[in-house]
Structure 1
Amino acid sequence: MDVKEINRATITQFRAGGEIEGMHRERLVLLTTTGRSTGKPHTTPMMFHRDGDRLLVIASNVGATTHPDWYQNLASNPEVIVEVGDEKYDAVATPITGAERDHLWTMLKQLYPFFADHETKTDRTIPVVSLTRR
């Protein structure tokens, strides 16, 4: 499975406004970060959870031992671009910490049990990130 090719196809289908093969369009966000080494934009499709005025994204990396590239990018530069539904806007990405993170993480695992599975595969704390419109 070529994840980069799947992501490219998903991004194209998302931006075209139609169905996305094997996914729920209404649950996807395209997150564009700035590469920490290259300074170039990188767009990653991912699931999100709406929490009031913000979107939550989870840096589970399917339980890998390292954070995903998009998370490492936003750790260097939290200014991101969000595409959700028919909207595109500038946002600030903020990792959630402490008791708020713990509360949200528990709720997210209950709603989406595959995150609990991801957690069992790694020793790292899986980040929960808030995307807030600028």
Structure 2
Amino acid sequence: MVWPFEGGISLEECNTSEIFKILDAAGELSLQELVAYLQSFLIENKANWMEENFNFVYQTSFENNSFLELQKYCTDLISKEPAKIFKSPNYFSILENLLISLIQNDYLQMSEVQVWEQVIKWGLARNPELPSDFTNYSKNDSKL
């Protein structure tokens, strides 16, 4: 896929992190045609990378209101395949506000028990000093 603008570059030759840097700059400069093109390219060609780096993609998508296609991609992925996010190697590094946003998704296809188990795992990974047997938690321990 070649950039459809004069003096374009081939995005296939760029690594995905570079494409996100270009997307961020295009968003800052309000280059909406370029933003739309880059989002489409990422979704069509870099889905595996985006799933492996979901935390980064999810956070980036909501940092700029013009990244609507990426926001939709992330929301759809959360809804349809939540296990991909919760089993991601980067899951435990997700920021608290993003985790809250994930678990508040009305279309999340997981039971409340499964969601709770993921929240506990996240909390324990981020706070290894807590006892792993959560049945013995005090009120103070419940603030993961």
TM over 0.5: no
Could you say which structure has the higher strand fraction? 1
TM-score of the two chains, using structure 1 as the length reference: 0.31
TM-score (norm 2): 0.30
Higher relative contact order (CA 8 A, sep 6+): 1
Q: 1 or 2, which has the higher helix percentage?
A: 2
